[in-house]
Structure 1
């Protein structure tokens, strides 16, 4: 039986989405380690081949996740959408503008929600442990 590897994210160190990616990369691959720099790349990395065990036997312990939830809340979500808006495909512009309006109003899913969803969708049940 393979031992399960645990990757620890210190939620108190998450100050925004870029910092989350840095922390996760370092947790998996050591100082300066890469594990995605955007949501799509992060999801791809969770699929394997970027430092996690090939058999998927790992856990993610996200400590002080409530602090991360605040840092990755509606304000950070709006900032990300504002940065994406100039580059978004015209077919997706109206949807992105609606999502931005919702985030600015403090409604809708946050980046924290999206990250949790990506992790739970891309890993085995019970992999994510919010502490």
Structure 2
């Protein structure tokens, strides 16, 4: 059986909110799996909240809204914070 996890792209306001939303989609309210691309890759590989056998789908609704929120401006803000 395939499990579907839903991300509401219209709720993505920045990178931190994205991490919260994916954590909650996979692990339920207040769910957490990490705050970086390595953690996201682990999640997508299975076994970190997702089925070990990889029988899951992530449905990213309204992805154009989240693309705007995660675009150049957010990337620059995040990089400045890391350098700062």
Give your verdict on TM over 0.5.
yes
SS of alignment partner, residue 9 of structure 1: strand
RMSD of aligned alpha carbons: 1.1
Q: Which of 7, 10, 14 is equivalent to 2:8?
A: 10
Across the two proteins, how many residue pairs are aligned to each other? Answer: 84
Deviations 1:11-69 (A, max 9, x none): 00000000001011111110111122122222223222211011001001100000000
**Aligned equivalents of 2:4 and 2:46: distance in 1?**
15
SS of alignment partner, residue 84 of structure 1: helix
When normalised by structure 2's length, the TM-score is 0.92
Unaligned 5+ runs, structure 1 = 87-131
Q: Which of 61, 64, 75 is equivalent to 1:63?
A: 61
Residue 36 in 1 paired to residue 11 in 2?
no
Larger RCO, structures 1/2 (Cα 8 Å, 6+ apart)? 2
When normalised by structure 1's length, the TM-score is 0.61
Alignment of 1:48-59 (within 5 A): 48-59=46-57
